[in-house]
Amino acid sequence: MSSDTLAKASAAPDVPEHADALRIVPHRRLGQWTAAAAVLVLLGLAVNSVLRNEAFRWDLVADYFTSDSVLRGLWLTLWLTAVVMVLGFALGTLLAAGRLSANPVLRSVSWGYVWLFRSIPILVQLLLWFNIGALYPQLFGVRTVNLFTPVAVAIIGLTLHEAAYAAEVVRGGILSVDRGQIEAAQALGLSRWRRWWRIVLPQAMRSIVPPAGNMLIGTLKGTSIVSVIAVQDLLFSVQLVYHRTYQVIPLLMVATVWYTVVTSLLGVGQHYVEKYYARGSERAR
Amino acid sequence: MSVMVDIRSVHKSFGSLEVLKGIDLSVRAGEVTVVLGPSGSGKSTLLRTINHLEKVDRGAITVDGVLVGYRRSGNRLYELPEREVLRRRTRIGFVFQNFNLFPHLTVLDNVIEAPVSALKRPRGEAVEAARRLLERVGLADRADAYPRQLSGGQQQRVAIARALALEPGLLLFDEPTSALDPELVGEVLDVIRDLALQGRTMIVVTHEIGFAREVADTVVFMDDGRIVEQGPPTEVLERPREERTRLFLSKVL
């Protein structure tokens, strides 16, 4: 603003003597109200049709929701997710350390791993492991098909896939830690191991947890892919039922609701984990 | 008095940029050496080579008669394994410009980290010592705070306590007040001055000319990777022999 217009503005009689008697009226946004109303109407219609459509058979959904076979499938989905996350992140952390190491061989091999396993679709990978017996009929004196059971294939395939992504998440977290932190730890004579566990990793966790939470939820749902190799997870369990009863939609609803429930619980858990790793990050009051 | 730090013809390059072009300097035990110089003169790099945070390309540095990063055999210096370098480094305290406190640890945990994990002191003993040190820097009541809850000046005082927790024979300060708001500089310099009065051997890289005049036994002026002149503050600061020193002082005073 030029000094000219400033002078004019201050000279204008807009502001009366008693400015504190003025009331401020917010600008009404008609468009926002219309959009909100339209969305609510559409949402109401959708909910109405879901509840009123008999074909959903909510009574059957309720019946099967806690049936033994569904709960067994849910249990497999849960422990498979946990095992894959733990092993995937363990391997991913090693790969991240490899990517950041001073050793060019470790760096290249880690890079190559991430490149390869991010390139192969998980479905293709599962099928490859499932048919590994065609390449190596015998391993360690045992028939390969006996070693690579469907569950073992599921764990191996999902873990190798997970590790490639986990490696990048962990690497990003480590790079987010200020270089001065490592120098300070070196200057204090802390061992390499101690620097890593006590100084770098806890700080890296702040940037690792949000994408890791994303991956956890993705993995939970992604395990449903193992139904193609006949592992009895949540999805496969409801499929077994509807192949028998032909109640496809109600049983898919059972799976849908369970996936949603578990995902929501994981979201709550993530909130507390984030809070824990944020300690010390608030500014002075 | 015995020599604490002996620096002999140290050269250091980053890529094609030579930042140290042959430095010779010796610091006697119990003395305070203040290193002055324009930014880019190599003074921080020199300080970092003393505790082997930066490797030298040529020359040698001993602290209390010991090579920090190397083992000498005849005419060769063999680089030591990291474990040994870390052990020798615990004899040297280092205070950074940006404090570099560990933000996820409380003040107390910051101070006891090195004694417990590097010196294998029992935790209870380390905590007691840490509380005494925090009292000395005037922060006994902030032991359970996290670094970010403290002012810059308080953080730097914690960083000094953390360096002292190793009971080092030598203290290195890399521009300890440069990241501070002007009104917080005094409290940090007071702590450093106290340490000087106790006869600690210290090398301080700083821009605080007043502090140098008051506390230094020796002032070293560096420019362009070389030591231009050195001597007692009354000489270097009041009657500099070199034109470059005079020019620098006229700019900062």
A67-82 pLDDT, tens digit per residue, is: 899 999 999 999 999 9
Q: How far is A188 from chain B (nearest CA, A)?
A: 6
The Cα B58–Cα B22 span in angstroms is: 8
From B95, which residue of chain A is nearest by alpha-carbon distance? A184
β-bridge pairing B32-36 and B218-223: parallel
Q: Give B205-245 pLDDT, tens digit per residue.
A: 999 999 999 999 999 999 999 999 999 999 999 999 999 99
Lowest-pLDDT range, A14-18, A141-145, A189-193, B10-14? A14-18
pLDDT band at A1 (very low <50, low <70, confident <90, very high): very low
Contact B38, B203 (CB under 8 A): no
User: Cβ contacts (< 8 Å) between A284 and chain B: which residues?
Assistant: 148-151
pLDDT band at B41 (very low <50, low <70, confident <90, very high): very high
Lowest-pLDDT range, A17-21, A260-264, B90-94? A17-21
- Angle in degrees, 0-180, between the axes of helices B182-197 and B152-164, rounded to the nearest 10: 20
Find the mean pLDDT for residues A55-72: 88
Here the ipTM equals 0.92
Please tell me which of the candidates A187, A192, A282 has its beta carbon nearest to residue B53.
Answer: A187
- Alpha helices by DSSP H, chain A: 3-11, 30-52, 58-65, 68-99, 104-119, 122-130, 144-147, 150-175, 179-187, 192-194, 201-222, 234-245, 248-277
Q: Residue B162 and residue A188: Cβ atoms within 8 Å?
A: yes
pLDDT at residue number A158: 95
Structure tokens of B105? 């640890």
Q: Give A248-259 pLDDT, tens digit per residue.
A: 999 999 999 999
The pTM assigned to this predicted structure is 0.81
Q: How far is B225 from chain A (nearest CA, A)?
A: 23
Q: Residue B102 and residue A279: Cβ atoms within 8 Å?
A: no
How confident is the prediction for chain B on average, in pLDDT? 93
CATH number 3.40.50.300 is the correct assignment for the domain at B3-252: yes
Domain ranges across chain A: 80-230
Interface of B with A (CB under 8 A): 51, 53, 82-83, 86-87, 89-90, 92, 94, 96, 98, 100-106, 113-114, 117-119, 146-151, 162-163, 166
pLDDT at residue number B69: 86
pLDDT at residue number B147: 94
From B120, which residue of chain A is nearest by alpha-carbon distance? A190
Q: Residue A189 and residue B113: Cβ atoms within 8 Å?
A: no
Structure tokens of B217? 């036994």
pLDDT band at A8 (very low <50, low <70, confident <90, very high): low
User: Cβ contacts (< 8 Å) between A180 and chain B: which residues?
Assistant: 96, 98, 100
Higher pLDDT, B215 or A55: B215
Please tell me which of the candidates A181, A277, A281 has its beta carbon nearest to residue B100.
Answer: A181
pLDDT at residue number A285: 36
pLDDT at B106 exceeding the cut of 90: yes
Percentage of chain A beyond pLDDT 70 is: 94
Contact A159, A117 (CB under 8 A): no
Find the mean pLDDT for residues A93-106: 93
pLDDT at A196 exceeding the cut of 50: yes
Angstrom CA distances, A204 to A64, A145, A185, A197, stand at 43, 41, 15, 10
pLDDT at residue number B237: 93
CATH of A80-230, one of 1.10.20.140, 3.40.50.300, 1.10.3720.10, 1.10.10.10: 1.10.3720.10
Find the mean pLDDT for residues B93-99: 95
pLDDT at B107 exceeding the cut of 80: yes
pLDDT at residue number A138: 80
Contact B103, B147 (CB under 8 A): yes
Find the mean pLDDT for residues A42-57: 89
pLDDT band at A139 (very low <50, low <70, confident <90, very high): confident
DSSP one-letter code for B7: E
From A285, which residue of chain B is nearest by alpha-carbon distance? B149
pLDDT band at A282 (very low <50, low <70, confident <90, very high): low
User: Cβ contacts (< 8 Å) between B90 and chain A: which residues?
Assistant: 188-189
pLDDT at A135 exceeding the cut of 90: no
Find the mean pLDDT for residues A42-53: 90
Find the mean pLDDT for residues A189-197: 92
pLDDT at A11 exceeding the cut of 70: no
pLDDT at A2 exceeding the cut of 70: no
pLDDT at residue number A141: 80
pLDDT at A281 exceeding the cut of 80: no
